[in-house]
Amino acid sequence: MTMWIPNIEAVQGPIYLAIADALEADIKSGTLAQGDRLPPQRELAYQLGITLGTVTRAYGEAERRRLVKGETGRGTYVASETPQVSPLVPKEGEPEAVDLARNFAYPHLNPSLSEGLVRMARTAGIDRLNGFVPSEGLKTHRETGVLVFKDYGLEADPDRVAVTCGAQHGIQVTCQALFRAGDAIAVDRFTYPSIFSSLESLGLKPVPLPALRRSDGGFGAMAPDALARAAETHGIRGVFLMPNMQNPTTHTMSLEERENIVEVARAHDLKIVEDDPYTPFLPETLPAFGALAPERTASIASISKVCSPGSRIGFVHVPASFGDSIRNKIGESTWMASPITAELIAGWVREGYLFKALRLKRRANRERFLSAQKILAPYFLQGDPSKVFGWLRLPGPVDPDLLQAALGHQGVSVLSSRYFQVRDQAPAPYLRLTFGSEESDERFCWALERIKATIDQLAELPDLTRPVG
């Protein structure tokens, strides 16, 4: 095909948005087809008489809308209509970028799997685990869940605990049990990336709500007045929260903030789903929503971030009235979580290996956070030494998508704020940085230095929305 050149002569607003809009229109009309190669950025800038930075920003906006995909060394192409695999999903044999995008909390400090399997093999009656068990899991494994929930500020009842295939599966079966297709569920404006697709796949509608602002300018808990208004105007039936280490803002709800949310939930008969896989990293334990409002709260726990993502074991604790529904949903989705890996986790909990690994990870994380705070100064990094990721505020001129792309070309993987927002919102000026996926301290600090230098460079660029001359 001939080189694609958009018509931007009558543009009133920002040039980069006009280019992205024209690209979207030409894809929808069939002028551009899947796999078509777009002109090199420098060439398009020359043809249109605009800055290279404007075209870079336009292509970044098009990629944010999932219209195009860039391939290093090959160029930019019209994307397939098939949704791209999330950047959070590991790929076998992928290039070794320094990973500050995916939240793998120090896997190199996990307990030894081989030693754990040897100990498990010596357990009396181990062969019983090679058969079917109840969908909610064996009692001894549900009692392990009770021990895990203690770290979450919840005195759990083993008869109300069920074993799941990790926290993600726990979210799925819990939402299926508590809600009906068509229900609207309140979520934080910035939240766990997979919750949007998880709710939508179940026929549930996520309703993002704003957060309170802290005295340091960071994000606090979900605003209770916004939750109350959403209950009245959107007819929401529940709320999804991460009270102990909110992903991605890192905020830990105070007791007062929790009580304010409970008050709204009771006034409007809202169910509460709390998911907090990073809770064991915190030095203090605050009451869980499952303790403050047990009649309406489902709590989800996981050991994936603490010792073993490969085991795929999580736990849910639900009001007694939903117990049968949870068991049915687990049975319908996967019959049961693996009793073999549940036994492995139970052994690590009973024998103290989980807590030993946690001590090592807490110590390592403190050093990583302090390094990040020092290297990235003066930019504000929301978090503290107990938080396994940070929420970096960017200076106004810096586009988080462009920053993510620029760092990717330098071998540093990070996540723009857009992954934590609903799709139709422009990305906010934030970046999430994880501290534990990269094993090497030297590579970790090198990546932080690249982030700081790249932000400095992008912050000094001229206005990218105006044509040249």
Give the CA angle between residues 71, 93, 103 to the nearest 5°: 85
Helix (H, G, I), strand (E, B) or coil at 94: coil
Backbone angles phi, psi at 32, to 5 degrees: -115, 140
17 vs 362, higher pLDDT: 362
User: Which candidate, 88, 124, 152, 73, places its Cα nearest to that of 309?
Assistant: 88
Q: Give every CB contact of residue 391 below 8 A, 6+ residues apart in sequence.
A: 190, 218, 219, 248, 249, 250, 381, 382, 383, 430, 431, 432
Listing DSSP states for 279-323 in one string gives: GGG-SS-PPPHHHHSTTTEEEEEESTTTT-GGG--EEEE--GGGH
CATH number, domain 124-351, options 3.90.850.10, 3.40.640.10, 3.40.50.1950, 3.40.50.1100: 3.40.640.10
Residues 97-156 have pLDDT tens digits of 899 999 989 999 999 999 999 999 988 889 999 999 999 999 999 999 999 999 899 999
For residue 392, the cross-strand partners are 381, 431
Kindly report the pTM of this predicted structure: 0.80
Residues 229-257 have pLDDT tens digits of 999 999 999 999 999 999 999 999 999 99
CATH class of 15-78: mainly alpha
Asked whether the beta carbons of 135 and 173 are under 8 A apart, the reply is no
Q: What local confidence, expressed as pLDDT, does residue 239 receive?
A: 98
Q: With bands split at pLDDT 50, 70 and 90, how would you rate the model's confidence at 93?
A: low
Q: Does domain 98-103+355-459 have CATH number 1.10.10.10?
A: no
Q: What local confidence, expressed as pLDDT, does residue 294 receive?
A: 97
- Cα–Cα distance, 192 to 181 (Å, whole number): 21
Q: What local confidence, expressed as pLDDT, does residue 466 receive?
A: 40
